[in-house]
Amino acid sequence: MPMEIGIYTFAETPLDPATGRQLGAGQRLRDLLEEIGLADQVGLDVFGVGEHHRPDYAVSSPAVVLAAAAARTSRIRLTSAVSVLSSDDPVRVFQDFATIDLISQGRAEIMAGRGSFIESFPLFGQDLRQYDEIFSEKLDLLLKLREEERITWSGAHRPAIDDRPVFPRPQQQPLPGWIAVGGSPQSGVRCARLGLPMALAIIGGAPARFKPVVDLYRSAGAEAGHDPASLRVSINSHGFIAEDAAAAAEIAFPPFAETMTRIGRERGWPPTSRRQFDMEAELTGALFLGSPQEVIDKILYQHELFAHDRFLIQLTVGPMPHAEVMKAIELFGTEVAPAVRRALG
């Protein structure tokens, strides 16, 4: 199967360049639907939408946005990026994405994860001290829902289900699912033992340091008896594309630095410097920034490391101008993706 190439977004709410004030979520959502539509038109394979419960992101329910996108696209696959399964009800997640799958005629996917922010836990009454236990239990139920129409299930963090049917059923059987991981070996092994595809976020540092995680995932999956074809890997990374590297950096650095520095204040990271940004943009760094050819070269370089099956780029790390994002999507779909597909056969 050729490499799948696509985009994911957290739908950052934009800044008005004239006033510096944050624009409303409504405009960002309308822009996002245009971006997904263009990605479909230029031949990209996947578009993912993230879930957040903060004022700086416009999407708290990826399924609602993806359902709207399903009605206005024809071929692109539509996935969450991610569904924060720990603070949601797996039955509702399954039903929502089964509905998207029916609207889109078999193009929906679920990318499940624990989330990189914690706001959803107190919002939905979950105990952060049971972070991993809750995710494991709810993932077990979600996987059961994919396989069985009638469900009998019990756990510690959700009311039991006693022989109840769950509808609607998706067009795809089973409904495709990925597990999003941040690079810990334990997360990779969990994916592998379940025989599920792994979406690995590489958003900083040398990507080569993640190769042992990918190798461990594949070896653990083989030891568990899973078909190697089911052990798919996606690399998900930040980036931006323009006609040349200087233009890409001029557009991307200010919102990137503002966003990463703001999040860093919450997490104890140092501010993002231009030197750090430029280093990440080098061939061996994590940031896919530059001209179409530079991005092509970097995807192919990482494919030598990981032999991955899918690559997703986050173009909007911070509130990027919508017009520039649309240009980047066009370059990604019309120049980068075809060249990568040709190179990899």
pLDDT of residue 211: 98
Contact criterion met (CB below 8 Å) for 281 and 208: no
pLDDT of residue 19: 67
CATH of the domain at 258: 3.20.20.30
Structure confidence by residue, pLDDT tens digits, 243-252: 999 999 999 9
pTM of structure: 0.96
Contact criterion met (CB below 8 Å) for 1 and 43: no
Structure confidence by residue, pLDDT tens digits, 195-247: 999 999 999 999 999 999 999 999 999 999 999 999 999 999 999 999 999 99
pLDDT of residue 18: 56
Domain count of the chain? 1
Provide the 8-state DSSP code for 85.
G
Pairing of strands 310-314, 4-9: parallel
Spatial distance between the Cα atoms of 301 and 307, rounded to a whole number of angstroms: 10
- 168 cis-preceded (ω within 30 degrees of 0): yes
Angle of helix 292-306 versus helix 337-344 axis, rounded to 10? 40
pLDDT of residue 116: 80
Q: How many CB atoms lie within 10 A of CB 195?
A: 14
What is the separation of C-alpha 322 from the centre of its chain, rounded to a whole number of angstroms? 20
pLDDT of residue 15: 60
Helix, strand or coil, per DSSP, at residue 149: coil
Burial bucket for residue 125 (CB in 10 Å: 0-12, 13-18, 19+): exposed
Query: Which portions of the chain are predicted below pLDDT 50?
Result: none
- 10: which 2 tokens? 């957290």
Spatial distance between the Cα atoms of 259 and 237, rounded to a whole number of angstroms: 15
Instruction: Look at the block and give the residue holding tokens 């510096």.
Output: 20
Range of the domain at 241: 4-344
